[in-house]
Amino acid sequence: MLTKLKQRVQQALTVEAKAAHKIGLTPNAISGVGIVLAFLSAVAYWEWKTNIFYLLVATGLLLLSGFCDALDGVVARLYEEATVFGGFLDSLLDRYADAAVYLGIIISGLCDVLWGLIALSGSLLVSYSRARAEAAGIEMESIGLAERAERIIILAAASIAAVFWQPTTAMNIGIILIAMLSNLTVLQRSLYVYGKLKKKSGN
């Protein structure tokens, strides 16, 4: 849903992309920084009980990880460094980043375990459904309510609310929303693929 906005953001990141390239950062290196930030975010979520403001740290690290996810693509396109393996690696690391953050939240007790697992499964399946569809030649970008950008925004908003309200209640609301929207997105994509394949077959 936010794909078009993401494209505009990526266009606005030219200055940052040039700076990153100037200091020698490749798209894969930026992807690597992003996954490290995501794991640190997961640790901060895990440690929230020792200090409630760790939730703000976790949120900041999560948003920086998302920033890296946008920046690596800009650098790759701007300097013609995009490769098939680079795209594969970026997608793979994004899945590890998602899993780490959700597991950090679940293990920390910030959300109900069942809803956390549903949110995690839905988030991974959103990406898997796109990969399978595009392998069949069907473009999936912008199809669905909860792509990665939307999920990060929901999680960040819930985390900030958790600092100033009841932490587990706020996070549960965010996780339940992600669980519902991500699985709805999988359904949307499944129906979209079905319609496209049916049209192709002429039935």
157 lies in some domain: yes
Specify the pLDDT at position 5: 57
153 lies in some domain: yes
11 lies in some domain: yes
Specify the pLDDT at position 97: 94
Catalytic site residue 90?
no
41 lies in some domain: yes
Tell me the Cα Rg of the chain: 18
83 lies in some domain: yes
Using an 8 Å Cβ cutoff, are 109 and 44 in contact? no
Specify the pLDDT at position 159: 95
- Of the candidates 69, 94, 98, 112, the residue annotated as catalytic is 94
124 lies in some domain: yes
203 lies in some domain: no
Specify the pLDDT at position 113: 96
10-residue mean pLDDT series, the chain (203 residues): 57 77 86 95 94 94 92 83 82 92 95 96 92 84 82 94 93 96 94 87 66
139 lies in some domain: yes
Range(s) of the domain holding residue 148 = 3-198
Residue with tokens 């440690």: 47
Query: Helix, strand, coil: what percent of the chain each, to 5?
Result: 80, 0, 20
Report the CATH number at residue 56: 1.20.120.1760
When divided into structural domains, the chain yields a total of 1
pTM: 0.88
Q: Is 140 helix (H, G, I), strand (E, B) or coil?
A: coil
Specify the pLDDT at position 4: 55
